[in-house]
Amino acid sequence: MVEIITIGDELLIGQVIDTNSAWMGRELNLAGFDVQRITSVSDKKEEIEEALISAAKRAKIVLMTGGLGPTRDDITKKTLCEFFNTRLVFNDQVFKDIQEFLRGRVKNINDLNREQAMVPEKCQVIRNARGTAPIMWFDYNDSVVVSMPGVPSEMKIAMSGSIIPRLKDKYTPGHIFHKTVLVHNIPEAVLAEMLSHWEDNLPKHIKLAYLPAPGRIRLRLSGRGDDLNLIKTGIDKAVDALRPIIGNNIYGEEDLSASEVFASFFKNTGKSISLAESCSGGYLAHLITSIPGSSKYFEGSLVTYSNKMKQQLLGVKPEDIQEFGAVSEPVVEQMALGALKATGSDYAIATSGIAGPEGGTEQKPVGTVWMAWAGPGKKVVSKVFRFGKDRERNIVRTGETALIELMQRIKEGVL
C-alpha cells in the first residue's frame, strides 16, 4: 500500500545511514499502513523519476524524503512538476513561513531561501514547523504522493502532525497488531528448535519473525484482520503458551530497547543506581541517560578508563590490578563496590573488559568482559562474558547485557 523513496547520493555512497525510512515504517505500521518497499536513489533527475513512476504503479501511497534542501544538489521539485505535469509557482504563505523561521537565525533571507518558496502549482502545501523546505502533498485518482525534507526532525513532525492523520482520513486502513517478546542468552537456531512445535500451532493470521540483535532476539508476532479483538486475543494466547517454553530468558514483552525496559523497571522502585565503567567507556551511562526522566534514579557514572582512575576514584587495590589484571573478577567487584561507596546509590554496575581490536591475550582474548552488580548490604555478584572481536559490538553488548542482568538479579532476589 505504501512505498517510501529516500533521495540522496549520500545514502548510496554510505555517508549517511537512512534512519528516516525505518522511523516512517514503524509509525505507518502502527497506523495500520503497510510499507511494501523502500527505495533509495541518487539526486539524479532520471533516477528519481524512474523510482517515482514505478512506485506509483505498485503503491497507492508514495512518500518521498530528501532532495529539498536550499542547496543546488536538489532537483526533486522539478521532477515532481514533470510527473504531475505542472509548474513551479511562488507561494506567499511558504515564503512567510520561511521568513518567520529564519528570523533571528540568519541576518538576511538569501536567494536560495526565496527559491524554497517556489512550489508545484498542483500540490497542497503542508507547513514545515521545523525548517524552510515546504512539504508537498499531491492527490491524483485515488492515490497520493507526498514529498518532504530529509532532515529527520522536520520529516517526523510532518509525518506525525499532518501526513499520517491525512492518510487515515483518506484511506481506512485495516487493523494490524504486533507484540514483541524480548529474549536474551539463547542463540537463534536453538530458540527456533525450542519453538518449533509452538510455531506450528500458531493460527494462520498470526505471523512470527525473529529479529536478532547483539546478544538478544526479539520475537515479533504480527496479526492482521478486520476484528482487532480477535487478533489481540489470538496473540495473547500465543504469548501465554510461549512464556513457559522460554522462561527466565524473556526480559520484556514490549518492543522496547534494553534501556527502555530498564527505565520502566527502575523508575517506580524508588531506588538509585550508579556505574563504574571501564570497557563500556560511558556507553552504559549513555544508555541510561538517553531515556527522559532517568535523573530520577541515575546518580552518575565513574568512567575509569585508566588504572590510575580505578584506584583513585573507586578505591580498587593496586596489588589486585597487578596480580589479576584490570579485566578480572576481583577488580570488577571492587569497582562496583567503589561506585556504591562514592555515590551512595542503592545499586551499582561495573564493567571491565577488552573491547578490542588491541589488548587481547591468549587467556583473555578480545571480547572478554567482566561485569559486577552490587546492591544493598554491599552484596556483589559478578560474571564473565566472551563476546566477539568487533569493538563497537562488544561495547553495545556490554551495555545492554549489564542492564538486563541487573534486572534479573533483582527480580530473582540475588541482590
Residue 52 as a binder of a copy of itself (CB under 8 A): the answer is no
Residue 106 as a binder of a copy of itself (CB under 8 A): the answer is yes
CB atoms < 10 A from the CB of 252, how many?
22
Q: Which of residues 24-43 bind a copy of itself (CB under 8 A)?
A: 24-27, 29, 34-43
Q: Concatenated DSSP letters for 40-69?
A: EE-S-HHHHHHHHHHHHHH-SEEEEE---S
- 255 close to 218: Cβ distance less than 8 angstroms: yes
Residue 260 as a binder of a copy of itself (CB under 8 A): the answer is no
In Å, how far from its chain's centre is CA 53?
Answer: 31
Instruction: Report helix angle 391-411 to 258-266, nearest 10.
Output: 30
Burial of 185 (0-12, 13-18, 19+ CB in 10 A): middle
Q: Which three cell numbers stand for residue 287?
A: 544508555
Place of cell 523508575: 267
- Whichever of 139 and 390 has its CB closer to a copy of itself, that residue is 390
Determine the residue type at 131. Answer: G
Reported as type and span, the H/E element at residue 381 is strand 379-386
Residue 384 as a binder of a copy of itself (CB under 8 A): the answer is no
Q: Which residues contact 34 (CB under 8 A, 6 or more apart)?
A: 1, 2, 28, 176
Residue 51 as a binder of a copy of itself (CB under 8 A): the answer is yes
- Least Å distance between CB 354 and a copy of itself? 11
Place of cell 582474548: 365
Q: Which of residues 225-254 bind a copy of itself (CB under 8 A)?
A: none
**Near a copy of itself by CB under 8 A: residue from 73, 227, 236, 323:** 73
- 51 close to 64: Cβ distance less than 8 angstroms: no
Residue 377 as a binder of a copy of itself (CB under 8 A): the answer is no
Site size for a copy of itself (CB under 8 A): 106
Residue 22 as a binder of a copy of itself (CB under 8 A): the answer is yes
**Near a copy of itself by CB under 8 A: residue from 49, 139, 299, 329:** 299
d(CA 187, CA 105): 52
Residue 101 as a binder of a copy of itself (CB under 8 A): the answer is no
Q: Which of residues 385-404 bind a copy of itself (CB under 8 A)?
A: 388, 390-393, 395
**Near a copy of itself by CB under 8 A: residue from 158, 206, 258, 275:** 275
Residue 111 as a binder of a copy of itself (CB under 8 A): the answer is yes
Place of cell 545511514: 17
Instruction: Report helix angle 45-58 to 76-83, nearest 10.
Output: 50
**Near a copy of itself by CB under 8 A: residue from 1, 192, 239, 381:** 192
Residue 165 as a binder of a copy of itself (CB under 8 A): the answer is no
- Whichever of 57 and 413 has its CB closer to a copy of itself, that residue is 57
Question: Which one of the spans 16-24, 258-266, 317-325, 406-414 is the region binding a copy of itself (CB under 8 A)?
Answer: 16-24
Residue 100 as a binder of a copy of itself (CB under 8 A): the answer is no
Residue 361 as a binder of a copy of itself (CB under 8 A): the answer is no
Q: Which of residues 278-297 bind a copy of itself (CB under 8 A)?
A: 281-286, 288-290, 292-295
Dihedral, 258, 260, 263, 264 alpha carbons, nearest 10:
-110
- Whichever of 73 and 121 has its CB closer to a copy of itself, that residue is 73
Q: Which of 349, 256, 333, 249 is nearest to 300 (CA)?
A: 349
**Near a copy of itself by CB under 8 A: residue from 118, 208, 250, 256:** 208
Residue 203 as a binder of a copy of itself (CB under 8 A): the answer is no
Q: Which of residues 132-161 bind a copy of itself (CB under 8 A)?
A: 132, 151, 153
